[in-house]
Structure 1
Amino acid sequence: MSVKSCEKIEKSQVALTIEVGAEAFQAAVEKAYRKMRGKINMPGFRPGKAPRKLIERMYGAEVFFEEAINIAFPDAYEEAVKEKELQVVGYPAVELVGDASADGFTFKATVPVYPEVTLGEYKGLTAEKEEVKVTAADVDERLKQLSDRNTRLVSVEREAKEGDTAVIDFEGFLDGAPFDGGKGENHSLELGSHSFVPGFEEQIVGMKAGDEKDIDITFPEDYHADLAGKAVVFKVKCHEVKEKEVPEMDDEFAKDVSEFDTMKELKADLKKKIAEERQKAADREFEDALMTKVAEGITADIPDAMVENQARQFVENFKMQITQQGIPYDQYAQMTGITEAKLLEDAKEPALRQVRMDLALTAVIKAENIEASDEDVEEEFKKLAEQYGMDLEMVKKYVQADQVKDQVVSRKAVALVVDSASAVKPEKKKKTAKKAEDTSEGAAEGEEKPKKAAKKTAKKAADGEEKAANKAADGEEKTAKKTAKKAVKEAKKEEE
């Protein structure tokens, strides 16, 4: 193998012209003969026993050339990449140059490579950062969540009202015949939750244990195709009505739900925890804003392959999330009508942002010559072991030291950017003369959102798929927080 030329072209691609000589090619032809001879019929010979020379004489000297080229190409290409020290980021586009002969062949491989990156400003940046505040209303809301988690349902002998839970049997009929998915027994339905088709829950209000009732419902036009816009009848029997028994917000409640003896202590602890949570969130947003600026400031001719690879990774992560929620991806795709091509297209924009972020971070690491010591790596292993409640040696068994090292180095690079930056208060939005109009439009939009959230139909799922894909992509771990933690989780599952 010899590299005849190595030329850089647009989009961070390299065009390699590679020649495979007679010796290497003849070795590949021999391999091709041994691979193919069993499928070639020659008079007077059992399958696979005909000599190569006789086969070439009968079918032509080029009979094995195509397969020999396929055999010789990978090694020749890999050697050329290694010789030219190329950092390849995708698969090559290959074309034969001229015709192959007994003396060998020449091919051209155009391959995407890691781009040259020029950093913009990455020190002394400014970004908005929210000032953390915790109000009494915030604490009350957290207390309400605790109260809701400790609220019991108790049976009552009265008519059901909104907010109650009714235990019901139901069966739906379309034109007098039951339809698929329209039946349930001993189903607990919270009235006012809007978890059923619109109009259903409202007609349960007023029923009491032992009551039976026919409920007339017309499905929405955007419901499942078989029932969209159809008028149906649900036969409903109420077995039980339950109301919420809400605990008193007193010192006894504080003792029951926490390690504190008084409500005052519990509130103080909740206020502290909310402040800590919001501070972490503000710090993350500040960090993200700064790193976004660094990423936007780089100059790089990014190859399409890097974006496509990242987009595919986002899609694979999204599929995994769907499956982990108990829905086979194929079933989800059929239900929503989404295609993999659409998911990949939707993921390209966030994928490009992620690629730029990765390139920027790597460039900062290189510019500042940031490294991770053995002590840094060991400390990170200990943190992972403590975080996931695992033995240190078990973590080291499943998580590669290089992964942890990359994570530590990336974190140091981000810290360098953050520590040199300045935080500014977010600017208050100016009021305009169109405030009343904007408020009206906002109210209309706000009214529509709960309706959309309440209607759990296939159409809504399909309409929201682009946002879901983008959310999955945007939620992907930054390079500074790579895959070590995922590996630990997998190791923990196996250990359990």
Structure 2
Amino acid sequence: MKSAVETLSPTRAKLTVEVPFEELKPSLDKAYKQIAQQINVPGFRRGKVPPQVIDRQVGRDVVRDQALNDVLPQKYSEAMQENDLTPLAQPEIEVTRFEDDGPLEFTAEVDVKPEIVLPDYAGLEAQVDDVEVTDEDVEEQVQALRERFGTLKDVERPAADGDFVVIDLKATQNGQPVEGAEVTGMSYQVGKGGMLDGLDEAVTGLSAGEEKEFTSQLVGGDLIGQDVDVVVKVSQVQEQELPEVDDEFAQLASEFDTVEELKADVRERLGRGKRLEQAAAARDAVLEALLEKVEVPLPEGIVTDELNNRRQQFEQQLAFAGLTLEKYLEDEGQTQEEFEADLERRVRESVAAQLVLDEIAAKNEYGVDQNELTQHIIRRAQQSGQDPQQAFGHLQEHPHHIQEYAAEIVRGKALAELVEGAKVTDKSGNEVRLKGLLPDGTFAEETEGAEESTEESTEA
């Protein structure tokens, strides 16, 4: 086999490959054997049909096409390795010559990994916000805990902000009931929002037994985004009574005996969470500092595909939340052009970061063992709320995802190396400790497991 490469851009190459008939013949022979097992020809046993008979029965072109499907991926892969190219996407292959008893010639255009010259990244500097847990932060958490243990009592007065109401809802359009837009006996907190526009205003001031009609837009179903007439009737108005913040409450809501112990625990947990947020900010800041020092040519095909994927995922998330992109942009005060520009900027930064981390991983020859892969799959499943066994079953059906997970692991190792070698300070000038930070926000002891723990927290 002979191959030549033409560089179309720093991220795209064109291969021209010539495969002599001698190297093509094994695939032709294999095709004849497979077809012989699949057809019935009088006078011949299955699998013993001669090639010349197969040519007459099914056609020489069928055999050649099957041989081509067998040999093309193999020779394409060999040509990529021969020319030291790493593909980033599926190639565009064109067969330019394929004759009987003659050579096979084809071209392949493909996005390839660009050459990246890494700068000295030891000692990168970055700054992040201080870790600060305020009394207001603690009180907010304690208030949320009080609401969890609050009780409701009926009151004979109009509903006000913060009250709970039991309501019936019915939507109509042009006088006709809207299918699936009717609920009965639903509990709703006034002022909470997130259901129907105008609902809070409609129920505020209503007493038990009163109703009101208003116009809104449905957030789901076939009529999503269309105006409908909604009638809401209040059957109960309830006031929430919250427990006093005292030692009795601490014993009810936690394993602690005193409210001081409870608040101390809340403060500690908030600190661990903010420490993880600070570590994530440090990771981003260090990576951004490196990207400012290196030029990364971006494959436009990869950028376009990632843009389309992210846009589609975002619109699916909005639809799940009962929103359209237009409504989201209106609420955010953002134009379509601003949204697209911001999305493209983030995609380009993400692709550049992946390429740089891949380069660092290759330089350090990072690998992935079975235990690392298993733990990574379990963490991914837990983060998405999926049963780990289902995740492993999915991988058996789609084994190509294993390579994606392996790439994520080695990038995590590369990022951990960057972060650990960087000098990160908070705005008060204090050095931020990152080595040995565990996914729960605590620190591991300085042991052999600390490096692995840092990689886990980096992934988290």
TM-score for both structures, normalised by structure 2: 0.67
Structure 2 counterpart of 1:242, from 238, 241, 264: 238
Q: What corresponds to 1:425 in structure 2?
A: 427
Distance in structure 1 (CA, Å) of the matches to 2:322 and 2:198: 28
- Does the 8 Å CA contact 1:166/1:188 hold for their aligned counterparts? yes
Deviation at 1:202, TM superposition (A): 3.3
Q: What corresponds to 2:299 in structure 1?
A: 303
2:267 matched to 1:271? yes
Deviation at 1:415, TM superposition (A): 4.1
Q: What corresponds to 2:102 in structure 1?
A: 103
Alignment CA distance shift 1:62-1:250 (3 Å): closer
Deviation at 1:217, TM superposition (A): 1.4
Alignment CA distance shift 1:426-1:291 (3 Å): farther
Deviation at 1:134, TM superposition (A): 2.5
Amino acid in the other structure paired with 2:10:
K
Distance in structure 1 (CA, Å) of the matches to 2:285 and 2:194: 38
Deviation at 1:139, TM superposition (A): 1.9
Q: What corresponds to 1:354 in structure 2?
A: 350
Amino acid in the other structure paired with 2:128:
K
- Does the 8 Å CA contact 2:165/2:188 hold for their aligned counterparts? yes
2:68 matched to 1:69? yes
Alignment CA distance shift 1:337-1:49 (3 Å): farther
Distance in structure 1 (CA, Å) of the matches to 2:98 and 2:184: 74
Amino acid in the other structure paired with 2:251:
K
Distance in structure 2 (CA, Å) of the matches to 1:89 and 1:299: 18
Amino acid in the other structure paired with 2:161:
E
2:112 matched to 1:113? yes
Structure 1, gaps ≥5 residues long: 323-328, 389-393, 428-478, 486-496
Amino acid in the other structure paired with 1:359:
L
Distance in structure 1 (CA, Å) of the matches to 2:77 and 2:49: 33
Alignment CA distance shift 1:361-1:4 (3 Å): closer
- Does the 8 Å CA contact 2:147/2:242 hold for their aligned counterparts? yes
Q: What corresponds to 1:284 in structure 2?
A: 280
Amino acid in the other structure paired with 1:219:
S
Q: What corresponds to 1:432 in structure 2?
A: none
Alignment CA distance shift 1:221-1:283 (3 Å): closer
Deviation at 1:484, TM superposition (A): 9.3
Q: What corresponds to 1:218 in structure 2?
A: 215
Distance in structure 2 (CA, Å) of the matches to 1:314 and 1:482: 25
Report matched runs for 1:188-227 at 5 Å: 188-209=187-208, 211-213=209-211, 215-219=212-216
Alignment CA distance shift 1:232-1:250 (3 Å): same
Amino acid in the other structure paired with 2:216:
F
SS at match of 2:99: strand
Deviation at 1:70, TM superposition (A): 3.8
Distance in structure 2 (CA, Å) of the matches to 1:377 and 1:36: 42
Deviation at 1:357, TM superposition (A): 1.6
TM-score for both structures, normalised by structure 1: 0.63
- Does the 8 Å CA contact 2:125/2:289 hold for their aligned counterparts? no
Amino acid in the other structure paired with 2:213:
D
- Does the 8 Å CA contact 2:282/2:424 hold for their aligned counterparts? no
Amino acid in the other structure paired with 1:274:
L
- Does the 8 Å CA contact 2:203/2:232 hold for their aligned counterparts? no
Q: What corresponds to 1:325 in structure 2?
A: none
Alignment CA distance shift 1:171-1:92 (3 Å): closer
SS at match of 2:153: strand
SS at match of 2:86: coil
Tell me whether 242-251 or 171-180 shows the greater mean CA deviation: 171-180
SS at match of 1:357: helix
- Does the 8 Å CA contact 2:250/2:256 hold for their aligned counterparts? yes
Report matched runs for 1:40-439 at 5 Å: 53=52, 65-66=64-65, 68-98=67-97, 100-209=99-208, 211-213=209-211, 215-219=212-216, 232=229, 234=231, 236=233, 238-307=234-303, 336=324, 349-367=345-363, 369=364, 407=409, 410-411=412-413, 414-423=416-425, 425=427
Deviation at 1:245, TM superposition (A): 0.8
Deviation at 1:248, TM superposition (A): 0.7
* 1:104-146 Cα deviation digits (max 9, x unpaired): 2222223333322211342232222212222222222222121
Aligned positions, number = 404
* 1:264-283 Cα deviation digits (max 9, x unpaired): 22223322332332233123
Alignment CA distance shift 1:169-1:118 (3 Å): same
Distance in structure 2 (CA, Å) of the matches to 1:62 and 1:179: 58
TM-align CA RMSD: 5.2
Alignment CA distance shift 1:480-1:94 (3 Å): farther
Deviation at 1:216, TM superposition (A): 2.7
Distance in structure 1 (CA, Å) of the matches to 2:278 and 2:139: 22
Distance in structure 2 (CA, Å) of the matches to 1:167 and 1:63: 70
Distance in structure 2 (CA, Å) of the matches to 1:201 and 1:264: 37
Alignment CA distance shift 1:292-1:22 (3 Å): same
Deviation at 1:372, TM superposition (A): 7.8
SS at match of 1:297: coil
Alignment CA distance shift 1:295-1:260 (3 Å): same
Deviation at 1:244, TM superposition (A): 0.1
SS at match of 1:219: strand
Deviation at 1:232, TM superposition (A): 3.0
Distance in structure 2 (CA, Å) of the matches to 1:58 and 1:181: 59
Alignment CA distance shift 1:155-1:35 (3 Å): same
Amino acid in the other structure paired with 2:422:
S
* 1:29-69 Cα deviation digits (max 9, x unpaired): 555667779999x9xx9xx9997547869999778555543
Amino acid in the other structure paired with 1:132:
V
- Does the 8 Å CA contact 1:407/1:482 hold for their aligned counterparts? no
Distance in structure 1 (CA, Å) of the matches to 2:125 and 2:189: 49
Amino acid in the other structure paired with 2:423:
A
Deviation at 1:346, TM superposition (A): 8.5
Distance in structure 1 (CA, Å) of the matches to 2:274 and 2:300: 38
* 1:392-429 Cα deviation digits (max 9, x unpaired): xx99x9699997898488446534544432426289xx
* 1:465-495 Cα deviation digits (max 9, x unpaired): xxxxxxxxxxxxxx9669999xxxxxxxxxx
Q: What corresponds to 2:335 in structure 1?
A: none
Q: State the percentage of identical aligned residues.
A: 28
Report matched runs for 1:436-475 at 5 Å: none
Distance in structure 2 (CA, Å) of the matches to 1:204 and 1:176: 22
Distance in structure 2 (CA, Å) of the matches to 1:21 and 1:482: 52
